[in-house]
Chain A
């Protein structure tokens, strides 16, 4: 009986040991570009995603290559060309901080951050680096030079534009139903701008659509072909067709005493733009700002508000441009 129990116990221990051994080597989770592994006393071998490496040896990265490896729950990302010693990379273990220590750090950090008003402000500002006024990111997020940038759009003539991809590139512009993926409109364009009467298209009120523009190049004998590098396209911009509301918002604003009492035209435009933005008519708000800027180019109030509007909607580069023209800067 004792013998059976002992054999069973050791079998279980051995099983655990083997299971632990199975996952006990560095594993390549992602590879981009040319990466090699040179084991101890072994010739270099090409590394692909999923390759199991030895714990010693070197990882060799060619130019522009990147690799991600996990070993014993330690994650390492390499993107510098050259040789990297695995024993050095994984020699140090990950932090051994247990749950109680992490909890105590969390509580003490909280207490430190709220110890004084200055500390509170400091931690608030630190947090602001990660947060922003809208959900799309703290950068242009690939939206630079793109309009309309989403929100509500009235079914009227709308000018779509996107960044220039250089000479010899044409663009395949599409408007697609976001739910059914049905193509509503498609056009090939040489320019990075397309003026479309949305009222003339089969777009349903209240429905969401998206637009995007692919890069297409001319190939000898093959005509225009869509670029295989799928990164060469504009991002998808979702918008909702909202008829009548835009006009109603402006009519309501015009009834307001504050609007009527304002003699300054730029101020009225500002009010209109803000109202439109609040109702999600981003394209119309942008048009209103632009029209107002055209009428009064040097108005600092307009410039700052327009720049703030652009910054709120991931047009940071354009916002900087607007501000850099500012005479009081």
Chain B
């Protein structure tokens, strides 16, 4: 049965193919039919990608598509891999980083906390807090003095808004000079707004004042392991994809409020580790949403849901990625484009053969083929990303596969008969003449 099926679809001896199932009115050689078939498939492939381009151009420009756009723009196929194909029952642990939660500390108690942490000889301390303006003189002075005494401190900075007119970021907002003069200043901004998913980060950004600023996690990585920081910078990528290690459960956490009266043993965990101080409350739905972002780990990967990760946990994830050297690799765009076009073309070729060879069951066979292919290709793309950390953006290929059936139908029943250039292109004579 299968033999007959394949024979009917793929046999080159079927010379009736090029005329909608009717016997050809002009005798054509097998090779010219073969060429015609390829040219038609190429024309359909071209129309498919033109259509995809137009959809993207039109929908993303029109205001009334906004609800659709906001969902689609903020969604990537790899989100499914993180959200659904990851084994969420397994929680890996990162033992080199300690996160300390402080809600809204006064500077005097923060100075005291820093003093106690420093007594445990941590490898680096990151303060994910911007100390803007002067508050109380005693607290300011204590904190300033503490920062002078402690080496390896990284202080949070805040990159200013991108200025369209200047084509760049003017500067980085630092803490008061009394604090920022005594540590490395690094920015804590992510490449996403508060209602977008954080998938990327910039290792360094040069502001318009000519200063090269480093990301918070990069500065901390350099303090802990200079070679790991160098490995990242040698990649010379303006933007890096974040290879998420895990959610807040993967990291050692302390609560500054409970440390106030705690003995020194409670802080012993800071020894030889990177200590990050900032806002990292629990992840209950009712927990504060300050500095909380969407990440690909969010189990609800389409539409809006509750932001799932605090900024400091994202910094910790970036830090882990840098220290482990586990970067995500992306295939160059030109390779992906060739792959997608080839994929689209081969599919059109196959679907057209089915259309011409099996007109009665074309619909069913094509739909099954689409579903099977989609599943298999998605599986391989997911597998490659999951195990090799190679990201292949094949969304246009999938879209082309889904559109191939309908566009081929339009082409065969409408365009081919009415557009003279296609006829000229394929040297066919209209059988109706």
Contact = CB atoms under 8 A, between A and B. Distances in A.
A130 B251 contact: no
Interface string B92-128: 1101001000111110010000000000000000000
B166 to A, nearest CB: 17
Given A49-B266, A50-B252, A181-B130, A95 B104 contact: no
Given A70-B93, A103-B382, A230-B257, A179 B158 contact: yes
Contacts of A94: 87, 89-90
A132 B304 contact: yes
Interface of B: 80, 84-87, 89-93, 95, 98, 102-106, 109, 130-133, 158, 160-161, 173, 194-195, 249-255, 257-258, 260, 262, 265-266, 268-269, 285-286, 288-290, 299-300, 303-307, 375, 379, 382-383, 386-387
A70 B85 CA distance: 21
Contacts of A23: 93, 95
A106 B84 contact: yes
Contacts of B289: 135-137, 141
A181 B134 CA distance: 10
Given A130-B299, A228-B109, A141 B288 contact: yes
B274 to A, nearest CB: 13
A13 interface: no
B304 A134 contact: yes
A107 interface: yes
Nearest to A180: B132
Given A103-B85, A137-B285, A179-B173, 8 more contacts: A23-B95, A29-B253, A33-B258, A50-B98, A94-B90, A130-B300, A141-B285, A181-B130
B306 A138 contact: yes
Contacts of B251: 29
A132 B300 CA distance: 11
19 contacts: A23-B93, A27-B252, A29-B249, A48-B269, A49-B98, A74-B90, A74-B91, A94-B87, A95-B87, A99-B382, A131-B300, A133-B304, A139-B286, A141-B285, A179-B158, A180-B132, A226-B106, A230-B102, A230-B103
Among A49, A103, A127, find the residue whose CB has the most chain B CB atoms closer than 10 A. A49
A106 B80 contact: yes
Nearest to B158: A179
Contacts of A141: 285-286, 288-289
Nearest to A75: B91
Among A130, A134, A183, A231, find the residue whose CB has the most chain B CB atoms closer than 10 A. A130
B253 A49 contact: yes
B237 to A, nearest CB: 27
Contacts of A329: none
A49 B285 contact: no
A321 interface: no
Chain A binding surface SS class:
loop
Given A103-B379, A137-B285, A226-B106, A30 B87 contact: no
Given A74-B90, A138-B306, A127 B300 contact: yes
A183 B131 CA distance: 12
Interface residues of A, number: 52
A264 to B, nearest CB: 30
B286 A106 contact: no
Contact of A30 (B161, B253, B265): B253
Interface of A: 23, 27, 29-30, 32-33, 46, 48-51, 68, 70, 73-75, 94-95, 97, 99, 102-103, 106-107, 127, 130-142, 179-183, 214, 226, 228-231, 233, 235-236
Nearest to B267: A48
Contact of A27 (B80, B93, B379): B93
Nearest to A182: B133
Contacts of B383: 99
A303 B260 CA distance: 48
A24 to B, nearest CB: 12
A210 to B, nearest CB: 10
Contacts of B253: 29-30, 49
A102 B288 contact: no
B197 to A, nearest CB: 12
B133 A183 contact: yes
Contacts of A226: 106
Contacts of B258: 32-33
A32 B89 contact: no
A228 B139 CA distance: 14
Contacts of A74: 89-91
A209 B60 CA distance: 30
A48 B133 contact: no
